[in-house]
Every structure is written in structure tokens, then in C-alpha cells.
Amino acid sequence: MTGNPAWARALSALALLAVDPAGLRGLTLRARSGPVRQTFETALARLPDPGRRIHPDLSDTQLFGGADIAATLAAGHLIQSAGLARTPARLILPMAERTPPALAARLAQLLDQSPGHTLILLDEGLDAEEAAPAALTERLALHVTLDAVPHTDARPLLPAPADLLAARARLGQVNHTPQDVITLTTLALSFGIDSLRAPSLALRAARARAALKGRTTVSEEDLRTAAELVYPARATQLPQDPPPETEEEDSPAPDPDQSSERPDIPDEILVAAVAALLPSALLDQLTRQQSLRRAAGSGAGARRKAQHRGRPLPARPGAPDGRARIDLIATLRAAAPWQAMRRKTRPDAPGLIIHAPDIHLKRFEDRSDRLVIFAVDASGSAALARLAEAKGAVELLLAQAYARRDQVALIAFRGTSADLILPPTRALVQAKRRLAGLPGGGGTPLAAALEAILSLAQHAQAHGLSPALALLTDARANIALDGRGDRVQAAEDTARLAALCRARALPAIVIDTANRPGPEPARLAAEMGARHLALPRADARAISAAVATALGD
């Protein structure tokens, strides 16, 4: 056995998956690419079932099968290609954090309908914002993080294949007590796991572990391992103290015989086991749950190529993959000049003779979604009322977001730091909840705000959004980037980051919210290459209108 607990957990997750692939559905691995993950993949390859690697760009035809057009044309009769869905296999999806929602939906459908498939998500997300789609991670039982494992600890030691198969055969005989169900369900609830899939999957994991250890009853150790593998990634809160107490009163009541048969399960130990594995920044995780949705398009942002809609562009030759549509006219036009020559080689072929290279695909030019980042100065120097106005403007913009196809994000800065209050969203429900509790007061960390804005803008761009900025401030920076109250340093940092905004060509508007107009906001706007707008007494509606016109539709 290896000494590293994280690695040991990863291995036991793999072994459990090998024992009960149909019940556990798969595994999410969160780790950067590197020797440790390499070793994990080596271990993965040693599992008994066949594995297939897929990629986030997988097309429908590859997944569900369909006509193989190139082969069909060459043969002159219809040739079907079998999709991955046909043969049950372990599908391994690297770069899972980049999975488009469409593929996630189809993989989820595949998992729901065909019990033979298991899915391994290799999530290489850098920060909490980047993660595999929740529609998939929710369905997969196991979750493993390998970031803390030194690679000297990682060895692909798995139980022998014969043992795994024996455990699989034993799985049907493993029994659990009604008390186990109650324990796992209560535990899930105490961690704020609302989904009922989690306890169900944990129960199966516990049984798989019992089978693996050669037992036919589920032990407390099994429950703990199962909870450690299934719950931490789903937890939304730390357990409060009261639940375990009430639970102890409940637990003997439903089935006294069972609990006398075996010592009562010390739930506190289970809670502690899971709590120890909770991601260090649980709050980060919570905000992450609504991570950036990949932009759908047809917005007001930058132009980009699209396959389905938008303004038509000239057709291009290409292989049909079930996503782009074939441009029939262009295809025929490409094939026409060659007909006489092709007829000589295949005189008996009916109709036009079309070869695969003739096929042209339709292309369209679409516009990406725009992301309007509101950065609001919530410091003591900016009037507190401003915050309320900004909140109002964000809500107004959101209400119109559907028509304009904009997404909205809100950064507030005060004291020594800037915080992303509202991650990019179009959802009014979520936005209102986040906006409700937004405090004000403290210094003006303008540099930190610009830093936060730049990182959000960069992130949004990576997700195909076109960011634009509305900065509401009086621009009287007095907190430097390192958090010290130093006006000179603060001004220097601000100027440096403003220049960076300009270099990145981030479309921006600086809304001057100072009660007495000063030169700072205008200077900041010039440094950022942004428009400057003095609005000493604006209301939410005026801000919303000004932003809409300034950022240009």
C-alpha cells in the first residue's frame, strides 16, 4: 500500500468502479496533467473492461453512429458507422472542463439509458471557475482529486483482475442494513447535498467495497470510504452540530433489532471523515457551481464562425460530421466538372458521381454573447447610495438581457480587495439573491479592482464571450495592490493596470460617481482608453441607458 491517503483513495475509487461499473457510473478526476495523472491513467488502463478515449469535440455521428458519408460515396451504397454508444465501454474524456453543454447533455442521456457505459472525466481545470459540466459530475458517483499527491507516492497498484472479477460476482450477495441507508442519507443532508442521487450512489459504493473486501455485509469502514469518495465534491455546507444529535434519537427507533445486532454507527466519525476532505475553499466551490456557461451566440459581441445560424459565408470543403450542414449546391458545383472523367472509370454508376472531397459544408458568421462587467466602487468615499443604483442598473440590464443577449457580472471593491459578487449570468433569480447582501464602506482598492476585472475579462474571452466594462467609481484610489494604504503606490498600480486594460482593448466606460467632480475619473478613463461619463446624480435607469449607448449596440 502507498502511504499517501489521497492516492490510496484514488486507487480504491478505481477498484470500486471496476467492481460495480453499472451502479457507480463513473469517476471525476480533478488533476492537472503530469506524472501523477499519468500513473493514474496507467492504473485505469489495467481495469478489466475496455476503455475508449473520447474528446470534447466528439460529434453525434461518432457517439451514436450514423452514415459514414465518405465511405458511402466511395462504395456507392449506404455504409453505417457504428457509434461509441453501440458497444458498452469505459469512456475516458480528457479536458472535461471544456465539454460543451450539448455533448454533456448527450453523454448524460447515454449514461441514463445504457447501463453498460461508464464515464471517466479527466478534469484539468485550473481554478474553481473551470470544471466539468454539473450534468455529468452529478451522475458519476466517485470524485477524486490528485493535486496534493507527490509523484513518488503514485504507484499503479490495483487488486489483481481475478480478485476484481470475483468481487463483481460477489456483489449481488452483499447486503446492507436499513440503518446504513439512514446513515448515508442523514450524512448527505448534513452536508447540504440536496440531490438524492448522492446517497443512492454512496450506498452502491459501500456495497462494492464490501464485495471487494470479500464480505457480504456492509461494514462501517465501507460506509466511510463510500462517503469519502462520493460526498466531499458535492457538499454545499459544513455540517452543523445539531443534526447528529437528533439523528441519534431517531436512529434506534425505526429498527431496534438491527442496531442491537451491530454496534451503532458513530456518525460523528463519518462526518469528520468527509469534512476532512472538503475542498479547502468551500465557498469558492459554492460560487463555482454557476460557472461560466459557454456562450450560445447571436449576441451583440464579436463576430465568429458558426455552423448553424447567422449570416451565411461561402461554403468550404470539409468532412460532414453531423454538426455542420452540407451545402448541396456547392457540392454539386464542385463535382460537376469531373463528371466526364469519373464516368470513364465507373461507367455503370447511376446519377452523379460524387467523391468525398467534393463535399462542401455551410458556414455562417455569428456574433458571440457580450458580457457586461459592472465594477462598483463600494468604498466609503463613493456615496453609499451609488451601490443601490448600481444594483438597480444590473437588475434592469438583466431584465433586458434576453433581448440583447448580454450576460452580466458584478465586481464590488471596498476595503482592501475586489470581489466577484455575481459571476457572469443571465439568470435573474440568482442575480437578485447575490445582490441583496452587498455591504459598503472602507478604502478604495482601485488597482485590485482592475486586476479582478482583467482576470474576469480574460476568462470570459476564453469562453467565447466578448467582455465590456462599466466602472462606477470616483477614482480616488488609496489602497495599493498589496493592500497597504499608500496613495502614491495605489496611483502607480492603478495606472499600470489601466494601461493593461487599454492594451487588451477592453471596451469600457468610466462612470464618475463623485459628488464633487474631480480630475481623477477623467484621467483614469484616458489611461484605460475608456469613455468618461460624469453622472453625479444618476439613478438606476439612467446608468442602464448610459451603459447601453456607450458600449454601442
Partner 1 sequence: MTAAFPFSAIVGQTDMKRAMILTAIEPGLGGVLVFGDRGTGKSTAVRALAALLPPIRMVAGSPINAETPEDSPDWAEAPGTEIITRPTPVVDLPLGVTEDRVTGALDIERALTLGEKAFQPGLLARANRGYLYIDEVNLLEDHIVDLLLDVAQSGENVVEREGLSIRHPARFVLVGSGNPEEGELRPQLLDRFGLSVEVRSPSDIEERIEVIRRRDAYERDHEAFMTQWQAEDATIRSAILAAREALRGIKTPDAALRDCATLCLAIGADGLRGELTLLRAARALAAYEGDAAVERSHLARVAPLALSHRLRRDPLDEAGSATRITRAMTEVWG
CA–CA dist 277, 259 (Å, integer): 28
CA–CA dist 91, 87 (Å, integer): 11
CA–CA dist 186, 275 (Å, integer): 14
Distance, first Cα to last Cα, the chain: 62
Q: How far is the CB of 551 from partner 1 (least distance, A)?
A: 22
Grid cell for residue 527: 489611461
Cβ atoms of 405 and 298 closer than 8 Å: yes
Helix, strand counts (H, E) of the chain = 23, 16
Q: How far is the CB of 118 from partner 1 (least distance, A)?
A: 16
Q: Which is nearer to partner 1, 41 or 180 (CB)?
A: 180
Q: What are the two backbone dihedrals, phi and then psi, of residue 541, each rounded to the nearest 5 degrees?
A: -65, -40
Q: How far is the CB of 218 from partner 1 (least distance, A)?
A: 12
CA–CA dist 202, 205 (Å, integer): 5
Q: How far is the CB of 452 from partner 1 (least distance, A)?
A: 23
Q: 394 Cβ partners below 8 Å, 6+ apart?
A: 374, 408, 410, 422, 431, 435
Helix 540-550 to helix 384-404 angle, to the nearest 10 degrees?
50
Binding site for partner 1 (CB under 8 A): 23, 67, 69, 72-73, 76-78, 100-106, 108-109, 112-113, 115, 134-135, 138, 172, 178, 181-182, 184-186, 189, 194-200, 203-204, 247, 250, 290, 293, 296, 298, 308-309, 320, 322-323, 325-326, 328, 331, 350-352, 354, 395, 399, 402, 426-430, 432
CA–CA dist 395, 383 (Å, integer): 20
Q: How far is the CB of 491 from partner 1 (least distance, A)?
A: 39
CA–CA dist 142, 16 (Å, integer): 9
Q: Which residues pair with 413 in a beta bridge?
A: 377, 418
CA–CA dist 209, 269 (Å, integer): 18
Q: How far is the CB of 316 from partner 1 (least distance, A)?
A: 17
CA–CA dist 317, 320 (Å, integer): 9
CA–CA dist 13, 126 (Å, integer): 23
State the number of CA atoms in the 13 A half-sphere of 215 facing the CB.
14
Q: How far is the CB of 82 from partner 1 (least distance, A)?
A: 16
Q: In terms of C-beta density within 10 A (0-12 exposed, 13-18 middle, 19 or more buried), how is residue 501 classed? A: buried
DSSP state of 158: -
Q: Which residues pair with 52 in a beta bridge?
A: 91
Q: How far is the CB of 351 from partner 1 (least distance, A)?
A: 3
Q: What are the two backbone dihedrals, phi and then psi, of residue 327, each rounded to the nearest 5 degrees?
A: -90, 105
| CA distance readout (Å), 434 to 410, 431, 438 | 10, 5, 8
* Unique residue bearing C-alpha cell 469600457: 508
Q: Which is nearer to partner 1, 134 or 302 (CB)?
A: 134
CA angle 294, 299, 301 (to 5 degrees): 90
Q: How far is the CB of 410 from partner 1 (least distance, A)?
A: 16
Q: How far is the CB of 245 from partner 1 (least distance, A)?
A: 13
CA angle 359, 364, 370 (to 5 degrees): 150
Q: How far is the CB of 124 from partner 1 (least distance, A)?
A: 22
Q: How far is the CB of 326 from partner 1 (least distance, A)?
A: 6
CA–CA dist 307, 161 (Å, integer): 46
